[in-house]
Structure 1
């Protein structure tokens, strides 16, 4: 196998694809060194679908999310919405961000402490010149579970609980009636007792409004509870993807197996050595091979693929809906 990219496959699914990355690359240059933060990603989010993007810190998932939002421009490849390539003019991006909204992990950081709840939720509708502002704000707060809305309109962020603040952030996104939410670690800063409420809210929004979501997280337990499909990212690439139940009950990639092993119900803990490699120095062969427990244990040698793991780059995974893994050992052992 070589690292050359075959034409991106069309996603065959009953759901219409709304948001898509096609052979996406995002590079940053600092002090003459080129960092491949996103290094060839194909990913699709269907209508009414929740996709979890999972990986360690530094794997490129936040850069990918920012690129899907139009906040970063890809070095190569395309972001497509509704089948059309994203345009980067101010007017096109403004319209696009009515359809695709961001929900950040830190509500205190994303809410202005001097603005009331009403002002926070009304900001987007004002920017976009939407009519009936008060009705839009009340409806958005109600959908986000802040009922009755009148109780919250004049409160400030410091007067709310963490869960209420996150609901205000979600209401601010809902006020523009988007089709897709991109949620970056949406419950990471919340108490365990509140996390389930916010996840249940996202599921309810999907069921009642047909909303799609890409949920960026390091937590496979969260992915299990909320996602229809999961994409596992390592060092700028998706290394395994598929229906969440299939991937998380029978993971094929050693990296996914290691991430799952930290969950309480896991029978065996896999301790990964070292940190993810520097994206300015991506290793040859499988990019995970230096930390791979299967290669270290000799199992890859028994399957006759250890040389390929160390030296032969893997193909980039397509945006397919079925389970798939970029791993020579998984291919060899079926």
Structure 2
């Protein structure tokens, strides 16, 4: 089926996910207004600290968490939430989890782990050939050598490749990878990242890579979206965002990388409770620019004036009152 190349493969507009509070507590705004696109053959990195909402956003994009507001579209068509529609969608968009040990049933062989998706979706072709091809694409060659192995007989990198093969066997158009190398040794991380890049180049596969590591984003992504307290605060081509970050939060995240060459920025305190999002800029209570006086000219706006949702397309923008000439400029 042909598709308009101008239409993003995956698109979210105004996405919100709110979790009710317990015993009368305020509701938690885990995702609080997000626009985000992933184009065909594009790798987008979704970056932020633990608890910023990035995993909830990723799961809502896959239909695993139903959004409270906004809409998700895939290939230009709105995502429907019937069981049948979601089953069809999950064949086209697959999740790769961070911990391969937790993703794989220890009692299932590699063959059964990879074939499981085919069986769920009633695959009518040659199952053995499909499993072999998926394992081979994931870098486990010769694939037949791995068929009867169990997860405990594999290295961490091999287990992650089995998880990726289990996603590839359904021939998806999109992979959402949640911290795909976080549990792996440094020597193996580069191999898995190179694999994802190769899959993009060979298959035209799109990927949304969820990570706390801006260094990983630099190595793999075409575009980056930085998330803080339920909202995207900076976005754009990876070279633009990571070489000339404009949002103080992005600057702080980059400052701790060894290659940054400067003094690390130590943010004060913890991210606020998503049930109690601060008024104004949601980062202002930890902002180093505000604390140092560098943002004195816009300090009132920082504390009282909310910022708009950034566009989800390929344009570069930052939701910061210090930034001018973008959609995030100080309003009237």
Give the structure 2 partner of residue 244 of structure 1: 238
Whole-angstrom CA distance in 1 between matches of 2:146 and 2:256:
39
Q: Does 1:90 align with 2:65?
A: no
Distance in 2, Cα, partners of 1:261 & 1:105: 25
Given candidates 7, 22, 25, the residue that maps to 2:13 is 22
Deviation at 1:132, TM superposition (A): 1.1
Distance in 2, matches of 1:161 and 1:187, equals: 13
- In the alignment, the residues of structure 2 paired with residue 86 and residue 232 of structure 1 have an alpha-carbon distance, to the nearest angstrom, of 24
Which residue pairs with 1:207 in the alignment? 201
> 1:183-236 CA deviation, whole Å, 9 max, x = no partner?
000000000000000000000000000000000000000000000000000000
TM-score, L = length of structure 2? 0.95
Deviation at 1:14, TM superposition (A): 6.6
- Give the structure 1 partner of residue 74 of structure 2: 81
Query: In structure 1, how many angstroms separate the alpha carbons of the residues matched to 2:313 and 2:37?
Result: 8
Are the equivalent residues in 2 in contact too, given 1:26–1:74 (CA < 8 A)?
yes
How big is the shift at 1:238? 0.1
Cα shift at 1:322: 1.6
* Mapping of residues 121-270 of structure 1, within 5 Å: 121-130=114-123, 131-266=125-260, 267-270=262-265
* Structure 2 unpaired stretches of 5+: none
SS of residue in 2 equivalent to 1:173: helix
| Conserved? CA contact 1:15–1:47, under 8 Å | no
Confirm or deny: 8 A CA contact 1:305 1:332 kept in the other structure: no
CA RMSD of aligned residues (A): 1.3
Partner of 1:309: 302
**Higher relative contact order (CA closer than 8 Å, sequence separation 6+):** 1
Q: Tell me which residue corresponds to 1:3.
A: none
Conserved in 2, the CA contact under 8 Å of 1:15 and 1:48? no
| Offset from partner CA, 1:161-186 (integer Å, 9 cap, x none) | 00000000000000000000000000
Single out whichever of 25-34 and 86-95 deviates more from structure 2. Answer: 25-34
Distance 1:331 1:14 in 2: 31
Question: May I ask how many residue pairs the two structures share in their alignment?
Answer: 320
TM-score (norm 1): 0.94
1:147 partner SS: coil
Separation in 1, partners of 2:169, 2:263:
45
Bigger mean CA offset, 16-25 vs 281-290: 16-25
Q: Can you give the 5+ residue segments of structure 1 that lack an aligned partner in the other structure?
A: 1-12
What residue is the counterpart of 1:5 in the other structure?
A: none
